[in-house]
Amino acid sequence: MKSTSYEILQQRLNEVEASHTRLLNHLPGMAYRCVVERSYEYRMVFASKGSERLLGLTVDEVMKNPSNTVERMTHEEDLAKMRKRIHEAISQRKSYEIYYRVRLPSDETRWIWDQGEGVFDAAGNCTYLEGIMMDVTAQKAREFKLKEENTLLRTSAANPAGFSRIIGTSEPMQRVYNLLLKAAKTNMSVILYGETGVGKDLAAQTIHEMSNVKGRYIPVNCAAIPEQLLESEFFGHVKGAFSGATTNRPGYLAAADDGTLFLDEIADLPLNLQVKLLRALEGKSYTPVGSNDVKTSNFRLISATNRNLSELVKNKSMRADFFYRIHVLPIVLPPLRERRADIPLLVADYARKKGISKPVPKQIMQQLVRHGWPGNVRELQNTLENYWAFGELVLASETPCPDIFDFAPLKAQEDEHSASTISFSSESMQPNSASTAGPVFQHSPTDGSLSDAKSQIEMQRILLALEQNSWKKGKTADTLGVTIRTLQRKLKKYGIKRHS
């Protein structure tokens, strides 16, 4: 029986279709066809075998769900953008080309390059989408690496020579670079003003490295040394000077001879040590504890504080002659919220130092740039480490934590007690944020006054920070943006003790 012309034509069409399908199945990606339904919903009606390599799904697995399988796998940050681009292309009768991420059943994330176009009927309605998807994860990784390298190169190029420790190209940082360069060319005393976490220690190291001094850089945190040991630590002691002094021991001044002595938290120096340090600054000489021998030390002094020293002079917490001796070249380091343009550079630099190759998504970066960063660069670094460890961005309250925020050195503050008060926002406190089974406190104001309400908030915030840091006082002080000595004073004030 002879085949009819229709049967012959049908056979040829089947052969062409089979050949076409074989060709599509051998493409390096996944060819697809979607029916466009109302409200621009897409239903997959054809997928090539490349789906197994691309999506980790067989053709049957892709086709068995009536909704668009690819959309369900698309990263939530990319889905809206993908749909918008396709919608715009259909509306303009143009082809589309999109990059987006998909999450595979194995939980692996891949970058997809998707190129396609709409098929329209006689009435001008889009009835199908036809296109091809390809895996471009490796290409994207190279792009991100190149972008990161370019960012770091721009940072290096924009920063003056010698400023490799400090990251930033913003206008406020350019002014800082100019001041640091001027400070490095002199041997005068420098005072660095800035909130907690702005990098005062890095600025001090930079001045030391760019200067002509040949000696060592000796950093000292004045707030971390017990008051009874301060004199011995600074000036050294001889054997037998006090109980436990079994050998001669040089102090910080001896170590900093012909070098730089960096005194962080200088506002915490007691008055009696200010007198002795002033003599050493003016006469370049000192006497170790328990000795009558005069020693000499030719050191350059750089100090740092997050408090208004002129207020301390008015309150008689700092000697005026000591203030004027250390306050020769004041440099104010801007908080991170005043140089937001530097945040992407700081993120890229810190990721490089931590060996993180995966880029921070655009949406996350936008949140980082918008945040107020009361803890400045240190808080940014802690936030990034938490994000890289747990995959979730957690931003702390934007209530500033440092003691003083107006660093105009000679401007009086409205509240004379602000230098010793930690200020917190009640909005940042959550119910039951401090465990009632852990810490106990003996003092609980109950008269309902504004002062006592602030004390309650302050006490709760301290308790929360202690719990978060496993009662490690150093880390707790960093979290609160205060010195260890201030924290200890607050613990004593509120009678806060760890539950036995």
**According to the model, what pLDDT value does residue 418 have?**
33
250 plus 317 within the same structural domain: yes
**According to the model, what pLDDT value does residue 485 have?**
78
Any domain includes 142: no
Between 374 and 469, whose confidence is greater?
Answer: 374
**According to the model, what pLDDT value does residue 460 have?**
76
d(CA 334, CA 392): 28
Do the strands 96-103 and 109-120 form a parallel or antiparallel pair, or are they unpaired? antiparallel
296 plus 396 within the same structural domain: no
Encode pLDDT of 132-166 as tens digits: 999 998 888 888 777 766 665 655 555 555 567 88
**According to the model, what pLDDT value does residue 70 have?**
86
Question: pLDDT band at 112, cuts 50/70/90?
Answer: very high
Any domain includes 209: yes
The CA-based diameter of the chain, rounded to the nearest angstrom, is 127
- Whether residue 272 is predicted with pLDDT greater than 60 in this model: the reply is yes
**According to the model, what pLDDT value does residue 472 have?**
84
308 plus 370 within the same structural domain: no
- Whether residue 124 is predicted with pLDDT greater than 50 in this model: the reply is yes
Domain that holds residue 306: 149-332
Any domain includes 14: no
418 plus 286 within the same structural domain: no
Encode pLDDT of 29-65 as tens digits: 898 988 888 766 788 888 888 888 888 888 888 887 7
Any domain includes 4: no
Residue type, 80: A
Three-state secondary structure call for residue 271: helix
d(CA 397, CA 88): 39
69 plus 159 within the same structural domain: no
Encode pLDDT of 195-250 as tens digits: 999 999 999 999 999 888 889 999 999 999 988 889 999 999 998 888 888 899 99
328 plus 346 within the same structural domain: no
Between 249 and 443, whose confidence is greater?
Answer: 249
Most confidently predicted of 13-17, 264-268, 385-389: 264-268
User: Which residue among 135, 167, 188 closes a domain?
Assistant: 135
164 plus 313 within the same structural domain: yes
For the residues 399-404, what does the mean pLDDT come to?
44
**According to the model, what pLDDT value does residue 18 have?**
64
CA-based nearest residue to 375, from 349, 401, 393: 401
313 plus 354 within the same structural domain: no
Encode pLDDT of 56-104 as tens digits: 888 888 887 756 788 888 888 888 888 889 989 999 999 999 999 998 9
User: Which residue among 304, 332, 360 closes a domain?
Assistant: 332
The CATH number given to whatever domain includes residue 231 is 3.40.50.300
Any domain includes 19: no
- Whether residue 419 is predicted with pLDDT greater than 50 in this model: the reply is no
Any domain includes 433: yes
Kindly state the percentage of the chain with pLDDT values over 70: 80
User: Which residue among 314, 332, 350 closes a domain?
Assistant: 332
Any domain includes 65: yes
When divided into structural domains, the chain yields a total of 3
The CB-side HSE value for 14 (13 A sphere, CA atoms) comes to 6
**According to the model, what pLDDT value does residue 156 have?**
56
d(CA 160, CA 209): 13
Any domain includes 7: no
238 plus 302 within the same structural domain: yes
Between 473 and 199, whose confidence is greater?
Answer: 199
**According to the model, what pLDDT value does residue 406 have?**
44
Beta bridge partners of 219: 262
Q: Over the chain, what is the mean pLDDT?
A: 81
**According to the model, what pLDDT value does residue 439 have?**
38
**According to the model, what pLDDT value does residue 470 have?**
82
Question: pLDDT band at 429, cuts 50/70/90?
Answer: very low
Cα-atom radius of gyration of the chain, to the nearest Å? Answer: 33
- Whether residue 427 is predicted with pLDDT greater than 50 in this model: the reply is no
359 plus 483 within the same structural domain: yes
- Whether residue 282 is predicted with pLDDT greater than 60 in this model: the reply is yes
190 plus 71 within the same structural domain: no
Kindly state the percentage of the chain with pLDDT values over 90: 37
325 plus 348 within the same structural domain: no
For the residues 374-391, what does the mean pLDDT come to?
90
The CATH number given to whatever domain includes residue 116 is 3.30.450.20
Tokens of 327: 């306050």
Between 477 and 111, whose confidence is greater?
Answer: 111
pTM attached to this predicted model: 0.55
d(CA 358, CA 391): 11
- Whether residue 494 is predicted with pLDDT greater than 50 in this model: the reply is yes
